[in-house]
């Protein structure tokens, strides 16, 4: 309720979300927390999983737990619900964000949501596209393709020389998991429109990505490192685009220098 200055009558105004807030400080603390710590953790896990055999250690145990075979490869929960319906759900969420952006473009009271929603749409799109692009040339096999796990191919590492005549692999990084991890961008989106909910956004992106990724590992479709690289690509895309959108926003908000007065 708001009283008018003229007659003192109460006028109802629709509720609004708070205007976007920029990151408190894009200084050392921000980059340590959002770039350097994730980078160190990523490198350590890559060394463990790809150089020290962590991928095979985890896959061996999943394979043995499923009875020395990928018994969950065609299970209803993993294939139909998580893989097929999960992909549809991620697409529907993106379309819902697109609809929200179109509504924000049409309604002045939602004007403060236009840039954050645009960021969310672009970030999710770029993240999934980057994962798909890397997957198009990386040439690595799925666990279920390998002799070690009942397949017909020998393992060839990411930087290994693939034998002539061996069919191309298309399993690295984890494409399906990107439909979940791409929503890590919710952390920065909610940081702009509802800062107190930004950790919920991070939890949603991590949670959905983990469900997608673990389900695919249980099916024999991916190693742990495949998901690790997907997380890294999605987080780097979300962070980089956040910084770019923030810079554009600050430039747009900066006062225009007054033109010099021409005297005659």
Asked whether the predicted pLDDT for residue 166 surpasses 90, the reply is no
Query: Can you give the residue ranges of every domain in the chain?
Result: 27-249
Question: What is the per-residue pLDDT for 255?
Answer: 58
Confidence of residue 23 (pLDDT cuts 50, 70, 90): very low
Asked which of 77-81, 155-159, 204-208 is least confident by mean pLDDT, the reply is: 155-159
* 66 compared with 253, residue with greater pLDDT: 66
Phi, psi of 7 (to 5 degrees): -105, -5
Using DSSP, state whether 2 is helix, strand or coil. strand
- The packing angle between helices 224-253 and 54-65, to 10°, is 120
Return all residues near 259 (Cβ < 8 A) that are at least 6 apart. Answer: none
Lowest mean pLDDT among 51-60, 74-83, 169-178, 243-252: 243-252
pTM of the predicted protein model: 0.85
pLDDT of residue 155: 93
% of the chain residues with pLDDT over 90 = 77
pLDDT exceeds cutoff 80 at 187: yes
Q: Which two tokens stand for residue 252?
A: 């747009």
Structure tokens of 63? Answer: 């394979």
Using DSSP's 3-state secondary structure scheme, residue 262 falls into coil
CB 101 within 8 A of CB 130: no
Tokens of 134: 């890397």
Q: What is the mean pLDDT of residues 128-149?
A: 96
| pLDDT of 97 strictly over 50 | yes
Q: Which CATH architecture has domain 27-249?
A: Up-down Bundle (1.20)
Alpha-carbon distance 116 to 140, whole Å? Answer: 36
């Amino acid at each position: 309720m708001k009283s008018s200055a003229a007659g003192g009558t109460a006028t109802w105004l629709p509720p609004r979300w708070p205007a976007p807030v920029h990151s408190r400080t894009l200084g050392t603390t921000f980059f340590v927390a959002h770039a350097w710590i994730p980078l160190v953790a990523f490198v350590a896990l890559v060394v463990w999983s790809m150089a020290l055999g962590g991928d095979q250690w985890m896959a061996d145990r999943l394979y043995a737990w499923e009875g020395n075979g990928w018994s969950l490869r065609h299970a209803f929960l993993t294939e139909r619900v998580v893989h097929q319906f999960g992909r549809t759900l991620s697409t529907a969420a993106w379309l819902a964000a697109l609809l929200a952006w179109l509504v924000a473009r049409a309604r002045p009271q939602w004007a403060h949501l236009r840039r954050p929603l645009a960021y969310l749409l672009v970030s999710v799109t770029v993240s999934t596209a980057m994962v798909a692009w890397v997957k198009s040339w990386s040439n690595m096999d799925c666990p279920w393709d390998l002799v070690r796990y009942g397949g017909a191919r020998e393992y060839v590492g990411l930087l290994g020389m693939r034998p002539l005549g061996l069919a191309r692999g298309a399993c690295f990084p984890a494409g399906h998991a990107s439909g979940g991890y791409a929503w890590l961008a919710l952390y920065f989106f909610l940081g702009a429109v509802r800062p107190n909910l930004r950790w919920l956004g991070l939890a949603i992106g991590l949670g959905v990505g983990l469900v997608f990724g673990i389900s695919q590992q249980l099916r024999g479709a991916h190693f742990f490192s495949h998901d690790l690289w997907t997380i890294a690509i999605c987080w780097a895309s979300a962070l980089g685009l956040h910084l770019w959108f923030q810079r554009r926003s600050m430039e747009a908000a900066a006062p225009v220098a007054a033109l010099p007065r021409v005297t005659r």
